[in-house]
Every structure is written in C-alpha cells, then in structure tokens.
Amino acid sequence: MSEIKSPGKLYLVPTPIGNLEDMTFRAVRILKTVSLVACEDTRTSGILLSHYGIDTPRTSLHAHNEHSKVPRIVEKMILGDDVALISDAGSPGISDPGYLLTRAALDAHLQIEALPGPTAMIPALAASGLPTDKFVFEGFLPQKKGRQTRIQALIEEDRTVIFYESPHRLGKLIEQLRQFAGDDRQAVIARELTKKFEEYVRGSLAELAEWVQAQPKIRGEIVFLLGSQKTSERINP
C-alpha cells in the first residue's frame, strides 16, 4: 500500500539585493532541501543558486505566467512537495511576484513560512536619517493614471514614505513631489544598496533636484524616501 504524504509547505525566501554575502544560512538550507524552487527568472537565480551549490530543480514564476503556473505549483504542494519561491532580488511578494502563489497556497490550506532577509526598503529606511518609528511603503507609483492623486495623498502622510523608482524617472518623481510638498521637504535617495557604489543623498527636495540635474546619468537601483511635513520642520526649522 502506498504511503499518503502530508501536504508540503511554501517557503518565501529572500535573496541578496546586490551582495551575495547577504544570503542567510537558513535560506541556503531551505533552497537545498525543497523539491522545487520557483524563480522569477531561472537564469538570474541560476547564478546565485550555483554560487551556493544549490542544484534543486527550478521552474519559472513571473508576472506573465503566474496565472497558469500557480495552480500547478499548488497541486505539487498538496501532493506533498515543499516549494520555495524566490524573486530576482530581495523578498518575494515585495514589488515582485509572490502574492498570487501565497494567496492560492492559503486558499488550499497549505502552510507558509516567510524567511526574514534582504529587501531594499529596510536598509534604506534605517540609514536614511528620517524617522523610522512609523513608515509607509508605497513601492512603484503608477506611471500615468492615478499618479498625481497618489502623490497628493502621500505628501499629507505623517509617516516616512518609501518609494521604489527607476533611475530614469527619479528626476520626474522629485519634481512632482516638489510641486505639491514644496522645496523644503526633506527626502533621501538611497542608491545601489549593498553594492560597490552604494550611496545616500540626503537633503530637501530642491537640493535633491539640483543633485539629479548635476549627474550626467543616474544609474543603478533606487529607493526614494520622503519625510513628513513635521520632520522637515524639525530638521530644517
């Protein structure tokens, strides 16, 4: 008689945002022991996985195949396989695929473990010099429809606001924020975190706009943080 396996688990495993040393021991162990690693991009993750000697079978799970792939991955877990989800960098589900699989796993009454680990927003906030006691993560703003309405709502926040932004739209973001929040609002550009050219630029929106103007080209990955009106009055009375 064949043995009935108990259902497998879904592990949400963060991966480094630029520095391979930021992988945790537990992340490596989980990725080595699960039956399948679902990767946002199997080639990108291949570099990390081979660096750590992880040869677990992989499958791709990204924005364009999530709807068809999720039911198949859930089926595997129901039949007893443990599955880990990783994204190209940082924590899966944070401005990255993960929500759909997590939701489907919960709907199927499967267990989920999210490992703590790398994400861009937390080190950016911690080193920003802006208040860290209360914050809100906005991620990427919509590029067109609804962008202005979001900005108008966010400048009223009494918490530090964290944005993800691409380098070529950074200037536009600062100008739009400046239009509604004024020149003096304090903000921070956190660029290339954990990498060789890591950089923080701290100042008022007017100063940051000037800094952007002075750069021949802005490269790399960026977290942008906006202080509240109150914070700006305290830092720059």
The distance of closest approach from Cβ of residue 91 to ligand SAM in the complex, given in angstroms and rounded to an integer, is 4
Nearer to ligand SAM, 8 or 208 (CB): 208
Give the residue with the Cβ less far from ligand SAM, 76 or 172. 172
Q: What is the largest CA-CA distance in the chain?
A: 77
Residue nearest to ligand SAM (CB): 90
CB of 200 to ligand SAM, least distance (A): 10
Closest CA to 226 of 189, 200, 187: 187
Q: Which residues bind ligand SAM (CB under 6 A)?
A: 17-18, 87, 89-91, 94-96, 119-121, 164-166, 190, 192-195, 221-223
Contact (CB, 8 A) for 168 and 218: yes
Distances, alpha carbon 190 to alpha carbons 101, 110, 200, in Å: 30, 37, 5
- Least gap, CB of 235 to ligand SAM (angstroms): 23
Identity of the residue, 66 or 221, whose beta carbon is nearer to ligand SAM in the bound complex: 221
CB of 173 to ligand SAM, least distance (A): 11
For 38, other C-beta atoms within 10 Å of its C-beta total: 28
b/e per residue, 144-168, with b = 16+ CB within 10 A? eeeeeeebeebbebebbbbbbbebe
Q: Please identify, using beta-carbon distances, which residue of 105 and 141 lies nearer to ligand SAM.
A: 141
